[in-house]
Chain A
C-alpha cells in the first residue's frame, strides 16, 4: 500500500516519488538561473538513486556538477557558492555520508549567519537519502534526521508524499536559511498521483493524512505508509485513528499534533530513528508539557531497535517499525488509562 494511492485528485497524472523529486529540481533549474545541483554521481550516472537522471542532458555540466568524493568539500563549496549569491542544491548520497560533512553543516551552514553578526545568510539546500529497509546494513541505513533537527540554524524537511516530494524544494530554495531535505530510501519507488499543476506546499506545517477521532498516530517520512496501514488495521477493529505527518522536523509544528491529541486524547509516535533521544522523545515531551491533562493514557512510541542496522532481511525487518508494531502499540494505548 502506498501513500500516494490515497485520495487521488481527478485529472492528475501518476508518477513516482523519485520522479516528483526530479521534476522539482527540473522546475527549479528552469525558474532560477542561480540554482545548480552538485554531488557524487549526479551527472551522467543520474544520482545514486536515479533522482537526477536526465538533468545533465538538459542543463549541462555547468549546472549539474559531478564532484570529487569529498562530502565536506561539496557542502562547504555549496556554502561558499550560496554566500556568493547562488542557490545550490547539494546531494549527499546518504545521511551516513553526511557525517563526513558535519563540520560544514553544523559549525558553518547552521552558524554563519550568527557568526557574521547577521550579515551573511546561507541559502543552501542539501538533499540526502535516509533510512533503512533495503538491506544496506549498519553503515548505510541510519535515520539521523532527528540529530539534524536538534540543530538551531537549520530547517529540516522530510517529504513523505508525492506532492511533498514535488513541492518542498522550491520553498526550500526560497528560504534564506540552510535547509536539509531527507528522502527516505523506501519511498523512491512509491507511485501515486502527481497534482497538475503541482500542489502548493508549505515548509512550516504538519499535515493530517488521515482524519480520525480515537487516537493520534504521529509520524513522518518513511514510516508514514506503514502508519497509514496500521490505521487501516485499527479501523477494522473499530478504532478510528488520526495520522499526523510532521513533514517539517525543525521547526516542529507542535500546534497540529497538539490539536489532534486534544481531540483524541491518545497518541502513539512512530519514528524510525533510535528511541533514546529521538524525535519521538521530543514529540512525547511536548505532549506531556502541553497536553498532560488532555491525555487519557501515556504516549506510546514505536522506534527502531537500538542496534546497528542488521543486514539480514528478517533481522532488519524485525528491527524496524512495522504496521503491526504500530497497531500493537496503539492497542496498548487504547487499553491504558
Chain B
C-alpha cells in the first residue's frame, strides 16, 4: 500500500477533512474529466470492449435504479433504496469477481446483483413485497440482501473460513499454505455507517487473525441516512485496516477502472493466501437514503452538485469518445437496451400477482414445525370464513 500522510484530523480539529477526497491517497485511473492516469501499484488492462462493457453495466444499473424510484413514487413498490452515484463502485467490484466467489450485499447493491446475473425483475419483486429474497445464492454466488446494517460481514468471514478449509484440504499437506489456490473469495459489501457496527469490527478481527480469504468492500457514500461519514470515524476508514493487521486502500469509488483494478488485486491477494483487504470506495449517495427519506433536510444541494461533477458514467463516456473507443452506434445501442429493460421491468412489475396471505408461513423453517402448521390452518379457516374473502388473496 502507498504510504498515507499522517492524519490532519487531530492537528486541525476539523472533522470534515475525513470526508474530503484528496487529503488522502486515492487510487484513481480515470479522472472525473475522463483522462487516463497511471498508478504505480494498480494497473489494469482496459481494451475498448472491457470499457464498453463496464459502461453498459453502469447505464443499465442506473436505469434499473431510475425505474425503481419511479415505480415506488407511483405506488408500485413499497420502498426503493437508490444506488445513484455508486454505479462504478458496484460494477467495478462485482466485475472483478469470479463465478464461484461469494458476494454478501446490502439492500443498495442492485448493480452487484445485476452483474452476478440475476434478473432485475427479482429485485423489484423484493421491493414490491412478493418475497424477501428469491435468487439462488449458490448459483449466482450472491447472498440475499442484508437489511440489518453490518451483520453480513460476519457471514462473509464464516463463509471464507469454510473456503479456506476446503482449499487447505484440496492442497494437501505437501503444498505449503500461501501458494496460489484459485479458490473462491468472499466479499462483504457494507457502507460507512456499518463501519461503526460492532459486527463489522468483529469481522475485521476475525478475518485478520484467521487470515481469511475475504475482501471487505466499503462504499463510503458519505452519508448513513442523515449522519455524515465524519460522525463514524476520525481517521479515513481504509486506515482502520492497519489496526486489524491487513491492508486497507482507498479508491475513487466513482472510477470504475480503479475500482476494478483495486478489487482484482485484493481478490488475488486473498486467493494467494494473503488474507483480507479493506477497500474503501470513496463515493457519494446522490439520492436520498431511500424513498422514505428527504435528504434536503440534512445536507446541502451544493454538496450534491459537487459530486454530480464526478459522475461515474460520464467520465467513461468522455474517455470512450475522446479515444474513439466507441462509435455513436454503440451509445445508441446501449440507450435502446436500457429503454427496453425499463419497459420490460415496468411490464413485469405491474403484472406481478400479490402472493397469498398464507405464504407468510413459507420458509420459516426448512423442516417440519407443527405450531406453524396449526397456525396456518387456523388462518386459512379464518380467511375462508371472512365476509370479504376477495380482499386478501390466500
Contact = CB atoms under 8 A, between A and B. Distances in A.
A88 B367 CA distance: 18
B70 interface: no
A84 B157 contact: no
Given A73-B205, A77-B154, A108 B134 contact: no
Contacts of B202: 68, 70, 72-73, 76
A175 B365 CA distance: 10
Given A77-B206, A86-B162, A116 B133 contact: yes
B144 A116 contact: yes
Interface in B116-174: 131-137, 143-145, 147-148, 151, 153-163, 165, 168
A117 B140 CA distance: 15
B370 A120 contact: no
Nearest to B157: A77
Nearest to A110: B364
B158 A81 contact: yes
Given A73-B205, A113-B364, A114-B363, A78 B158 contact: yes
A133 interface: no
Interface size range on A against B? 35 or more
Interface residues of B, number: 45
A198 interface: no
Interface string A57-94: 00000100001101011011111111111101000000
Given A73-B203, A77-B154, A119-B133, A84 B366 contact: no
Nearest to A179: B367
A79 B152 CA distance: 10
Nearest to B131: A117
Contacts, number: 144
Given A80-B154, A107-B151, A68 B206 contact: yes
Which of B132, B148, B157, B158 is most buried by chain A, counting CB atoms within 10 A of its CB? B158
A115 interface: yes
Given A68-B202, A80-B154, A85 B162 contact: yes
A152 B369 CA distance: 9
B136 A119 contact: yes
A336 interface: no
Contacts of A107: 148, 151
Nearest to B209: A68
Contacts of A175: 367
Given A81-B162, A115-B133, A119-B134, A251 B205 contact: no
Which of B143, B148, B161 is most buried by chain A, counting CB atoms within 10 A of its CB? B161
A176 B367 contact: yes
Nearest to A86: B162
A121 interface: yes
Nearest to A174: B367
B332 interface: no
B362 A118 contact: yes
Contacts of B136: 119
Given A68-B202, A68-B206, A252-B371, A117 B155 contact: no
Interface in A3-60: none
Interface in B190-226: 198-199, 202-203, 205-206, 209
Contacts of A76: 151, 153-155, 157-158, 199, 202-203
Contacts of B153: 76
Contacts of B206: 67-68, 70, 73, 77
A21 B157 CA distance: 28
B98 to A, nearest CB: 16
B155 A80 contact: yes
Contacts of B155: 76-77, 79-80, 83, 108
Given A103-B148, A112-B144, A113-B363, A72 B199 contact: yes
A83 B371 CA distance: 26
Contact of A121 (B148, B168, B186, B366): B366
A103 B200 CA distance: 12
Nearest to A121: B366
Contacts of A104: 151, 154, 199
A235 B162 CA distance: 54
Nearest to B122: A117
Given A72-B198, A76-B199, A251-B369, A118 B363 contact: yes
Given A73-B157, A84-B158, A107-B148, 5 more contacts: A80-B162, A104-B199, A119-B135, A119-B144, A251-B371
A-B interface, 4 closest residue pairs, ranked by CB to CB distance from nearest:
A80-B158, A76-B154, A77-B158, A176-B366
